[in-house]
Amino acid sequence: MNSLRALKSVLILCALLLGNPANAEESYTFAVVPQYEQRKLFTIWQPLIDELSRRTGYKLKLVATLTVPEFENELAKGRFDFAYINPYLVVKKDQRQGYIPLVRDQQALRGILVVRKDSPIKIPAELDGAKLAVPSLDALGACLLLRAELDQTFKARLTPVDVKSHSSVYLQVATGQIPAGGGVEKTFQTQDKSVQEALRVLYTTRDMPSHPVVAHPQLPAKVRQKLQQTLLELAATEEGRKLLQSTPIPEPVATSMQDYMPLKKLGLEAYLPD
């Protein structure tokens, strides 16, 4: 009888412990804007997410949507705990849930205009009225800033065509389906050699702060800070630097909303779709 009572007590204690959130593994989603097709995206990001999980003790799940618009819709609904996002979304009013920037790459973001290597186009002004392949209509470097500078500097107004990812931009231009495309230096450098060699960079934009890793504001401050600190500490070790080199944030630095406030002064809203 005593043994049964003891067993019952143990089972109750186990149930209480398992039901206590403080004793459960902390799980969080980590979403990444789909700049690449999914297989390549997971190849690039999964090793880093696994290492962050190991070092923080959090169970981080890498999440990727099929297209940039899907990603932005989910972000606007606050569906992600952590995310790697387009810098413009940090300040775009109708896309913000109050996500907090934590880390960005030290290297600046630069948009690029690409054409086929054998294209007769020599200067951006010759593209006035042409179609422009873009990964999303509100991509900062690959669309908004690029279109603004082409318009203001070269009087070249291009019609953006949303092809859903950076990889698609480069392929559409390389195969001659669209005469020009907007991307960013980092994604161009990770394309297959055959794609890079088929294209020519015709124009590069000014520097802007890179894509940030952001956190949902409802996450506890200690959770946000732990992930931020872990990313920064990775860059201080040889093993960590090697891991980060294959990602879009090879040199992570701490960041905040202040870094992105200058984006509000560029008048990029004029280049958003109606």
| pLDDT value at residue 92 | 85
Q: Is 90 exceeded by the pLDDT of residue 3?
A: no
Residue 5: pLDDT band by 50, 70, 90 thresholds?
very low
Give a yes or no: residue 117 inside a domain: yes
CATH for 242: 3.40.190.10
Give a yes or no: residue 4 inside a domain: no
Give a yes or no: residue 8 inside a domain: no
Chain segment 78-88, per-residue pLDDT in tens: 999 999 999 99
User: Do 189 and 238 lie in a common domain?
Assistant: no
Output 92 or 137, whichever has higher pLDDT: 137
d(CA 17, CA 37): 42
d(CA 189, CA 242): 17
Please give the biggest Cα pair distance in the chain. 92
Give a yes or no: residue 119 inside a domain: yes
User: Do 230 and 102 lie in a common domain?
Assistant: yes
Q: Is 80 exceeded by the pLDDT of residue 109?
A: yes
Give a yes or no: residue 19 inside a domain: no
User: Do 93 and 47 lie in a common domain?
Assistant: yes
User: Do 167 and 83 lie in a common domain?
Assistant: no
| pLDDT value at residue 25 | 72
Mean pLDDT of 159-167: 95
User: Do 120 and 197 lie in a common domain?
Assistant: yes
User: Do 218 and 262 lie in a common domain?
Assistant: yes
DSSP three-state, residue 257: helix
User: Do 61 and 118 lie in a common domain?
Assistant: no
User: Do 77 and 157 lie in a common domain?
Assistant: no
Number of domains observed in the structure of the chain? 2
Over its C-alpha atoms, the chain yields an Rg (Å, rounded) of: 22
159: containing domain: 111-204
Chain segment 30-60, per-residue pLDDT in tens: 999 999 889 999 999 999 999 999 999 999 9
- Domain C-terminal end among 176, 204, 232: 204
Q: Is 80 exceeded by the pLDDT of residue 7?
A: no
User: Do 28 and 60 lie in a common domain?
Assistant: yes
H-type alpha helices, the chain: 2-19, 38-56, 68-76, 88-91, 145-154, 166-174, 185-189, 193-198, 221-234, 238-244
d(CA 147, CA 133): 11
DSSP three-state, residue 10: helix
Mean pLDDT of 168-195: 96
Give a yes or no: residue 14 inside a domain: no
User: Do 139 and 184 lie in a common domain?
Assistant: yes
